[in-house]
Amino acid sequence: MGKNYYRYQNAGSQPARGVFLILVIFVLGGCAATTKIDEDGNEVVLVDPYENVNRKIYHFNGKVDEYVAAPVSSAYRYITPQFVQTGVANFFGNLKTINTVLNDMMQAKFQQGAEDTGRFLVNSTVGLLGLFDVASEIGLEQHEEDFDQTLSVWGVPSGSYLVLPFIGPSTTRGVPGAIFDTAANPASYVGVPVQLVQMLNTRANAEGALKFVDEAALDPYVFTREAFLQWRHFMAKDGAVELEGDDLMDFEDELMDDADDTQAETAAPGGDTKAVEDEKAKGYKLKLSPELPTPANTDTKAKIAPQVQ
């Protein structure tokens, strides 16, 4: 929900080697996996060894979102036209492309790095500083690369699952990854008011997905954790993971459709959307609840973590 937790680096005034040393310390800390021996004598990786603390922070973040972020983002979504929200998202997404190019190169994805560089140049010029996504129209598709994925390519394990105050899900590898990405993203230095606009825009666009988790999941904490770890595993493998049919893709499509529908329904005043949302949540429960992990059938502290390389 914010980037204040990165503020200590002040990249313009601190030497690069200081940031590098901080990253090394975090990476080395993330390499130590938490394990235990099960009843059969097998060593298992604990995916969520800090679950008790994580759940408390998850609950705290939920209250902050409920009483602060959600009302403000709802007001923002109400008064801001959709084309403005799209332009804001495009602008900050274009700035983030610089970070994507850096990680392309560090992962030796040189062709993709050249394509992403071209995408940045096109959107920064023809697209009016990134307000319009012209690059996608001419076939330069957006790629998602970050330093967490780069560390995975370099062989650093994902480590333990964490929930950070005001931030949300992460891992012990994801923390240094996020620090590097923030330092490499020009949006981190545009000033607090502009960053607040970015956060509001992001929260507003996530409204449908967040409602889906709260209403459809039997245990929102477990649902969020499993979805996050699966997503990071998918990203680290560039989508080259074994899936059972098209279940994951279908789920992602339906989730995004629900987010788009919710945003469209709440964009105009006076719309009675509660009945529609209730029906959507009911449908999701019927379809997904048999597959959702629950405290009764999930040993969260002794579960083997996804093997993210």
Is the distance from CB of 98 to CB of 120 less than 8 angstroms?
yes
**DSSP sequence for 2-61:** -SGGGGGG-TTTS-HHHHHHHHHHHHHHHH---EEE-TTS-EEE-S-TTHHHHHHHHHHH
Q: Which residue has the higher pLDDT, 104 or 191?
A: 104
Q: What is the pLDDT of residue 19?
A: 40
Beta strands of the chain (E only): which ranges? 35-37, 43-45, 161-164, 168-171
Is the distance from CB of 171 to CB of 236 less than 8 angstroms?
no
User: If pLDDT is split at 50, 70 and 90, which confidence band does 210 have?
Assistant: confident
Average of pLDDT values for 104-131? 96
Q: pTM, whole model, 2 decimals? A: 0.67
Q: Say if residue 13's pLDDT is above 60.
A: no
pLDDT digits (tens, 9 = 90+) for 43-94: 556 789 999 999 999 999 999 999 999 999 999 999 999 999 999 999 999 9
Phi, psi of 78 (to 5 degrees): -70, -40
Is the distance from CB of 228 to CB of 118 less than 8 angstroms?
no
Q: What is the pLDDT of residue 3?
A: 37
User: Percent of the chain having pLDDT more than 70?
Assistant: 63
For the chain, the average pLDDT equals 76
Q: What is the pLDDT of residue 261?
A: 54
Q: Which of 49-58, 187-196, 263-272 has the lowest mean pLDDT?
A: 263-272
Q: What is the pLDDT of residue 215?
A: 84
Average of pLDDT values for 216-243? 88
The residue extents of the domains of the chain are 4-291
Q: Which of 128-132, 247-251, 302-306 is most confident?
A: 128-132
Q: Which of 6-20, 55-69, 214-228, 243-257 is most confident?
A: 55-69
Q: What is the pLDDT of residue 249?
A: 54
Q: What is the pLDDT of residue 88?
A: 95
Q: What is the pLDDT of residue 256?
A: 55
Q: Which of 16-20, 93-97, 123-127 has the lowest mean pLDDT?
A: 16-20
Name beta bridge partners: 110.
none
| CA-based nearest residue to 123, from 138, 109, 111 | 138
